[in-house]
Each structure stands twice: as C-alpha cells, then as structure tokens.
Amino acid sequence: MENCVQYQGLEGISCERVRHPSGLTFLFCPMPGYSSAYALFATNYGSVDTSGITPEGKYFTIPDGTAHFLEHKLFEGKEGEDAFSLFAKTGASANAYTNFENTAYLFSASDHVQESAEILMRFVTSPWFTEENVAKEQGIIGQEIRMYDDSPSWQVFFGMLTAMYVQNPVRTDIAGTVETIAQITPQTLYDCYSSYYNLNNMVYVIAGNFDRDGILAAADRILPPAPAHQVTRSVVEEPDLPGTREVEKSLPVALPLFHLGFKERPKEGKEAVRMSMMDEMIAEICCGEASPLYRRLYDSGLINAEFGSEAFVGRGYRCNIFAGESREPKKVRDEILDELARLRREGIPQADFDRVKKQNYGRMIFGYNRVEGVASAALRGYFFGIEPFEEKTIAEGITLADLQTQLEESFREECSVLSVITPAGE
C-alpha cells in the first residue's frame, strides 16, 4: 500500500494515514482496550460551495441547500434500498451531517464493525438520483426548512450571520429555501457528486476497535480508481466590517435570545486552528463561568445558565460568538465590550491565562478518551490541513503574549453584531 504515514498521539493512541489506489485517504486510529468503533466517510464539500467544475471540465452553479439535499439522497439507493436498514441489520447506529464546508456520513458500532464499514463505503459511492426520488425529497426537506424557520435558536444564529457577512455564502442557511431546493434536479446532484465526491476530495476515518487490513481489502474490492480531479472553488471578496450591526426578529419565546458576534479576518490551515484556540481562551477569560463578569451578570439576572461562547471558524470566515437568553441583550453586550476593553488596557492576568490554558488543554485530552472524539478530531485536522494530534502541540505552544496580541486584534466593537429574537407580541 502506497503513502503510509504513522502519527503517534497520546499514550496508547496512534493514527496511520493511508492513501488508497482509488484516491481515497484513510485515517486509521486504533485504540487498544476499546470495544467499539466510530467511522466517518466525509467530503470537503458543504453549503458554502456555490459552484463547481466536473472532471470533464463542465462549469455549473449550485442552488442553495444542494449539499444538504445530496446528503439526504445518498441514503436511498437503487430500487429503494435504504442504508439505514442495512445498518440496522449489523446493529450499528448511523447518521450524517452537512455543515458549511463538509458533508460526513458516519456509524458507531460494537459488533459487526467490518460489515458496517463496508456498508458505509458502498452507499456513499453508489449515487442514484431520479426525477421521482428528487421530487419526493423536495417535499420532505421543504417541511424541514419550514421547521427551522420557526426555530428561535436557528433564526438568531443565522440572523447574526446574515447581518455580519455581505458576500460570503456562510450567510445562507445550510438547508437553503423552499424556492432554491425546487431548482435541484438529478443532473444537479450528479454534477455535484462527480465534482466534490471524487475520492481524491474525500477521507475515511475510523477510530476504536476495527480490522485495518480488512477495511483496506474491502476498499480494494469496492472502490474503483477515481479520475484525477482538482476541486476549484470560487473566491469571495468579503469586507472586514459587518453589513449591519443590529438585527431583531420576533418569535414565540419566553425570554429574548441573543447572539453577539465579532467578525474576524479569516485564516487558513494551522493558523486558523491556533487562532480559534486563542479566541476561545479570550472568551473564557472575559466571561466564562469562572470569570468575575459572568458571576456579576448571572447574579444580577442579566444572563442564565444558557449563556456560552464559541469560536466559529471555517473556509473563508471566522467569528467569535457569545450567546444566551437575557431580558436586556444590549446591556449584556455593553458589559462584555467594557470587559474586553479593560483586558486590553490592563492586560490578561497570568493566573487567568494559566487556568484557561489548562482547562482547554484538559478538555481536548478528555475528548481523546472517546472513539467519537478521536475520529472527529482526526477529521477536523485533516480538513484544516494539519497532522493528526497536532492540535495538542498547537495548544501547548500558546503563550500569554500571544493571547494579548490576539486580543488587541480581535473582538473589536466596530466588528460586532447583535442578533436578538424577542418574544412575539412585545
């Protein structure tokens, strides 16, 4: 087998990267002593990809929601064969997800892992689209879209993204709209599949207890060599400042929901991973549960236990989010801005830096105790272009000076957006 590279992670956990003759990359993460396995078969294609070029050189545009639509359709094979039914026979739990940059199909199993690994390999590489099954799916996903239209948590999040981004397609709902999915045809799906589901653009990750040689033997039987193909993506020019600073919408909620986002300049590869780690540390120091600001906001009733933060980073975008419920979202925003300004002015205390660095590092190591955590970390690292377990090395190298410099450049008031869902009728 060509192109085999070994990576040593934590004690007892390693990862082997294998480039299969079909073009597919395998990441094998054996975990001695574990009885279960978790696998992901993923493509570097998500909702932000709005056009493509097939291996034959055909350019095509992609209606919003197509990546999510395609994920749904792959579970249904020729003559109505259902992948979920096949997994049920092996006792595996299967699922899939589409996000802004990736689509992944997965299973978790304790028995018959080899059979489940082959089912995953077969159905993802066996597309079957017809006018009839596409029309049927348009009705199903149309109902799903309408459900999300009524979801306060979904609407407050996309309200923030739509206000924040002017051109980047991350501002568009992953599922699209009823109108855009109506434009999807079998040919649309086949064009997207041939362009983005080319095995050279995909990775198969499995962690836990499995037969590495058995999976490779199955790949030899199932996967024909994929045509050489380099995915071409559109480049979007996005301004540094948000399009709108405040947005508001009314829905049936008991308390107002808010997302306070800070638009940041995107990075790529290892630098994107490093910056997202530092952004999370800054947010934790500013108003994590152990911070004085969190206690002050909580005790005064301005926030509740739903409050939290997230570093949101991907291909061509990056932002930091504080989210929760509050009767006075603007006052919460002002308190957070004041605390960020104080930390810039007075400096981040060494004790807070040490605490948060250990906390985040411990959370990362804890994730490696689960087969899902190891497989997901390997997949995330692969699509960011870093080596398996390199997140650990990146986290260890962050210094207080790095964090202070990051704070000077991020979380700027002029780059902030406040999205609020208010109770209907108020």
pLDDT mean over 180-205: 96
Percent of the chain topping pLDDT 70: 98
Q: DSSP code of 306?
A: T
Structure tokens at 265: 């300049």
The amino acid present at 91, given as its one-letter code, is G
The number of beta carbons lying within 10 Å of the beta carbon of residue 340 is 23
**25-30 and 202-208 beta bridge pairing:** parallel
How far is it, in rounded angstroms, from Cα 275 to Cα 272? Answer: 5
**246-251 and 416-423 beta bridge pairing:** parallel
Cα Rg of the chain, angstroms: 23
> What's the whole-number average pLDDT of the chain?
94
Cα-based distances in Å from 50 to 17, 19, 115, 423? 30, 28, 35, 35
392 or 276, greater pLDDT: 276
Q: What is the pLDDT of residues 120-144, one digit of tens each?
A: 999 999 999 999 999 999 999 999 9
Find the farthest-apart pair of alpha carbons in the chain and give their distance in angstroms, rounded: 67
Lowest average pLDDT, out of 12-26, 71-85, 245-259, 303-317, goes to 71-85
pLDDT at 11: 65
pLDDT at 2: 53
The amino acid present at 166, given as its one-letter code, is V
* DSSP string across 145-203: HHHHHT-HHHHHHHHHHHHH-SS-GGGS-TT--HHHHTT--HHHHHHHHHHHS-GGGEE
Lowest average pLDDT, out of 8-22, 163-177, 259-273, 378-392, goes to 8-22
Confidence at 347, pLDDT banded by 50, 70, 90: very high
Q: Given 11, 16, 56, 71, which residue is catalytic?
A: 71
Decide if 310 is catalytic.
no
How far is it, in rounded angstroms, from Cα 13 to Cα 369? Answer: 10
pLDDT beyond 80 at 87: yes
* DSSP string across 68-125: HHHHHHHTB-GGG-BHHHHHHHHT-EEEEEE-SS-EEEEEEESS-HHHHHHHHHHHHT
Structure tokens at 227: 């045509």
pLDDT beyond 50 at 226: yes
Domains of the chain: 4-222 (3.30.830.10), 246-423 (3.30.830.10)
The number of beta carbons lying within 10 Å of the beta carbon of residue 118 is 20
Write down how long the chain is. 426
**Is the Cβ–Cβ distance between 165 and 171 less than 8 Å?**
yes
Residues 6+ apart with CB under 8 A from 66: 176, 181, 184, 188, 189, 192
Q: What is the pLDDT of residues 351-400, one digit of tens each?
A: 999 999 999 888 888 888 899 999 999 999 999 999 988 998 999 999 99
388 or 26, greater pLDDT: 26
How far is it, in rounded angstroms, from Cα 395 to Cα 402? Answer: 12
pLDDT beyond 50 at 1: no
* DSSP string across 1-15: ---EEEEE-STT-EE
Query: Helices (H) and strands (E) in the chain — how many of each?
Result: 15, 14
pLDDT at 426: 62
Structure tokens at 140: 């199903």
Cα-based distances in Å from 14 to 6, 7, 18, 321? 7, 6, 13, 33
Q: What is the pLDDT of residues 42-65, one digit of tens each?
A: 999 999 999 999 888 899 999 999
* Listed residue (175, 69, 97, 87) closest to 123, CA to CA: 87
